[in-house]
């Protein structure tokens, strides 16, 4: 975006760029070792932002300078904590990977704050409900392609076993 418009990057906390040599293979390896009970930290210990080519380009051009969150947003500007105001034409609000499960509330009387209590990948309250792809919530690295495949296989095996047990 910084190639076509003046952009201001605002974050809730200072961003942590991952080392240059960290890529998808490294991230998956770390998540897999953690899932297997290996020593060491998880993916989040590496940082928040993978240094993909577009990020590297922005970094090299000097346009990746994070500012703390503004205190007020009006129709035409943002207001910073020090009282300074800055005009803006658009705000792109990125929230990250957070599940939006409000549509499941009728199925789950105990549902609170958008999170469903699970045992593995199955809902505790509604045993016919499986949740896949929510990161470490439903299985280590389940939000990655390989991790989703692993979680999907476990889900199919669980469903098949439950169907065999049903009368």
Same domain for 112 and 145, yes or no, is yes
Query: Is 27 within the bounds of a domain?
Result: yes
**Looking at the domain assignment, is residue 1 inside a domain?**
no
The per-residue pLDDT string of the chain (167 residues; one tens digit each, 9 = 90 and over) reads 788 878 888 988 888 888 777 777 777 777 777 767 766 676 667 777 777 788 889 889 999 888 998 888 877 888 999 999 999 887 777 655 556 666 667 777 776 666 677 887 788 887 777 777 655 555 666 666 667 777 778 888 888 888 888 76
Residues 25 and 80 in one domain: yes
Residue by residue, DSSP assigns the chain as -TTTS---EEESS---BPPTT--HHHHHHHHHHHHTT-SS--GGGG-SB---HHHHHHHHHT---EEEPPSEE-SSEEE-TTS-EEE-S-------S----GGGGGG-TT-BTTB--EETTEESS-TT-B---SGGGSSTTTTSHHHHHHHHHHHHHHHHHHHHH--
Total domains in the chain come to 2
pLDDT of residue 11: 86
Which of residues 87, 116, 151 is at a domain's end? Answer: 87
Domain membership of residue 135 as a residue range:
102-165
Quick check: is 108 in a domain? Answer: yes
- End position of a domain, from candidates 87, 111, 139: 87
Q: Are 74 and 42 in a shared domain?
A: yes
The reply to whether 31 falls in a domain is: yes
> Is 97 within the bounds of a domain?
no
136 within a domain of the structure (yes/no): yes
Which tokens sit at 18?
């991952």
Residue 92 forms part of a structural domain: no
Looking at the fold, whether 154 and 108 belong to one and the same domain comes out as yes
Q: Which of 87, 118, 144 is the last residue of a domain?
A: 87
Say if 94 falls within a structural domain: no
């Amino acid at each position: 975006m910084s190639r076509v418009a003046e952009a201001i990057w605002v974050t809730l906390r200072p961003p942590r760029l991952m080392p240059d040599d960290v890529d998808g293979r490294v991230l998956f390896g770390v998540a897999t070792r953690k899932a297997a009970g290996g020593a060491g930290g998880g993916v989040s210990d590496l940082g928040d932002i993978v240094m993909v080519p577009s990020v590297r380009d922005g970094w090299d051009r000097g346009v990746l300078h994070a500012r703390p969150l503004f205190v007020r947003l009006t129709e035409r500007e943002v207001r910073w904590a020090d009282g300074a105001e800055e005009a803006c034409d658009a705000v792109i609000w990125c929230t990250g990977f957070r599940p939006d499960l409000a549509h499941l509330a009728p199925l789950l009387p105990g549902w609170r704050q958008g999170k469903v209590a699970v045992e593995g990948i199955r809902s505790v309250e509604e045993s016919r409900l499986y949740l896949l792809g929510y990161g470490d919530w439903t299985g280590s690295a389940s939000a990655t392609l390989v991790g989703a495949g692993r979680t999907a296989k476990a889900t199919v095996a669980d469903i098949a076993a439950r169907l065999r047990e049903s009368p």
